[in-house]
Amino acid sequence: MLRLALKMLFGDRAKYAMLVCGLSFCALLMSQQTSVFCGLLLWTTATVRNIRVPIWVADSKVEQVNEVVPMREVEVQRVRSVVGVEWAVPLFWNILQARLPDGTFQGVQLTGLDSASLVGRPAKMREGRIEDLRLPNAVIVDQVALEKFRKRGISLKVGAVFEINDKEARVVGICETERSFLGQPYVFTTYSRALEYAPLQRKLLSFILVQPKPGVPVPELLRRISALSGLRAFSSDQVAWDTLVWYIRNTGIPISFGTVVLLGIVVGIAIAGQTFYLFVHENMRYLAALKAMGASFGVLAQMVVLQAFTVGFIGYGLGVGLAALFGNAVLQKGQPPFYMPWQILAFTGVVIVFICLLSALVGLIKIARTEAAMVFK
């Protein structure tokens, strides 16, 4: 009987194709848009992954990593005095305007590292050495800077020169970084030189990077540092999570992508439900004949459910497969953002199962209301 159900499904090629296409489109839309949404949120925490330190210390009013409230440099000494701190170094991070050789401007995320330890250095260098940051007017740019400058017709390479706040910046290396939600390239230099590039103001310290002593629990050290007046300490995971939550609560990103995902679900339910109803309706004479020959409602229900889940399985595979191909293509280009964890595949699968169950239920209601005697009419 189950084989007969599959023959009935594959025999009506038009409706079979419509069912598969509808569910594939639904799975594609949900998985692709959700993956772009996750990738976009992942961009918001790029600074945390690029710097890579256990503990971040900021002004007590800071809520997420892309928000900078300048502090006094004396705060570094206060943090170093806390019991359990192995070392604490200053970090400058802010968006400044770089003047390119052709006279145009480009916003950059200037990151000033401690000149002695270079804590927070880029994880991967394409060209040059990180130690060359200690040379006069030296900066290291990332791959995003290469793309931004290239679009303006400027070839950026080691030895190239541009200006930040009317001061020379000489490229001594090219690194790879995680792309930022803000879209600006990262430019690394030493902390003292970053202060020279930055506009003059009384407070310039952005963050303090901290390493706990061996054996000191991070939560305990966070509590001790946060007890200092005017300071707040985050673990790297905590600051990343707080950043994600801040963007979810304070931007329209979730509503925008959620609307598209909901539209995909509605379209999937409408197409699959209506098409499956028509499919069952046109095959009702065969189902009624089986009913007249003694087939129970349970057997007919198994046939309908098998048909619904067969097209659901095929549609799910095609949809997420196309989404994965899209992701592979855009990841090679670097944008738009794309991140597809297993949770997205599970979410899409659950929705497809729900649509299949709903479609099967529509068909079963039609079968339950049908009399076996209709085959003789």
In order, the DSSP letters of 130-175 are GGGGGSTTEEEEEHHHHHHHHHTT----TT-EEEETTEEEEEEEEE
Measured over the CA atoms of residue 11, residue 14, residue 17 and residue 20, the dihedral's sign is negative
Q: Is residue 238 part of a domain?
A: no
Model pTM score: 0.82
Q: Of the candidates 179, 138, 132, which has an alpha carbon nearest to the alpha carbon of residue 160?
A: 138
Same domain flag for 210 and 79: yes
Q: Of the candidates 19, 194, 9, 213, which has an alpha carbon nearest to the alpha carbon of residue 93?
A: 194
- How far is residue 289's CA from residue 293's CA, in Å, rounded to a whole number? 6
Same domain flag for 164 and 203: yes
Tell me which of 163, 196, 229 is where a domain ends: 229
Q: Is residue 244 part of a domain?
A: no
- How far is residue 112's CA from residue 100's CA, in Å, rounded to a whole number? 20
Q: Of the candidates 286, 327, 318, which has an alpha carbon nearest to the alpha carbon of residue 303?
A: 286
Q: Of the candidates 225, 257, 217, which has an alpha carbon nearest to the alpha carbon of residue 80?
A: 225
- CB–CB of 240/48 below 8 Å? yes
Tell me which of 197, 229, 261 is where a domain ends: 229
Same domain flag for 21 and 79: no
306-320 burial: b if 16+ Cβ within 10 Å, else e: bbbbbbbbebbebbb
Q: Is residue 225 part of a domain?
A: yes
- How far is residue 137's CA from residue 102's CA, in Å, rounded to a whole number? 20
Tell me which of 181, 214, 229 is where a domain ends: 229
**How many structural domains is the chain composed of?**
2
Same domain flag for 73 and 16: no
Angle value at C-alpha 100, between 177 and 94, nearest 5 degrees: 50
Splitting the chain (377 residues) into consecutive groups of 10 residues, what average pLDDT does each group show?
A: 63 75 85 89 90 92 90 93 94 91 86 92 90 92 88 83 90 91 90 91 92 92 92 92 91 84 79 70 63 64 77 88 88 80 89 82 68 51
- How far is residue 110's CA from residue 233's CA, in Å, rounded to a whole number? 22
Burial classification of residue 300, based on how many CB atoms lie within 10 Å of its CB (0-12 exposed, 13-18 middle, 19 or more buried): buried
Same domain flag for 191 and 105: yes
- CB–CB of 320/23 below 8 Å? no
Same domain flag for 212 and 81: yes
Q: Is residue 239 part of a domain?
A: no
What type of residue is 354? F
Q: Is residue 338 part of a domain?
A: yes
pLDDT of residue 375: 46
* N-to-C CA span, the chain: 24
How far is CA 43 from its chain centroid?
A: 6
Burial classification of residue 241, based on how many CB atoms lie within 10 Å of its CB (0-12 exposed, 13-18 middle, 19 or more buried): middle
Same domain flag for 68 and 119: yes
Q: Is residue 136 part of a domain?
A: yes
Question: Tokens in use for 189?
Answer: 């230099």
Give the residue numbers spanning the domain of 356: 2-44+252-376
Measured over the CA atoms of residue 153, residue 158, residue 161 and residue 162, the dihedral's sign is positive
Pinpoint the alpha helices (H) of 12-114.
Answer: 13-44, 46-51, 74-80
Q: Of the candidates 375, 366, 350, 356, which has an alpha carbon nearest to the alpha carbon of residue 311?
A: 356
Q: Is residue 9 part of a domain?
A: yes
Same domain flag for 27 and 109: no
Same domain flag for 65 and 18: no
Q: Is residue 241 part of a domain?
A: no
- CB–CB of 96/165 below 8 Å? yes
- How far is residue 49's CA from residue 237's CA, in Å, rounded to a whole number? 10
Polymer length of the chain? 377
Same domain flag for 81 and 214: yes
Burial classification of residue 287, based on how many CB atoms lie within 10 Å of its CB (0-12 exposed, 13-18 middle, 19 or more buried): buried
Same domain flag for 287 and 160: no
Same domain flag for 122 and 40: no
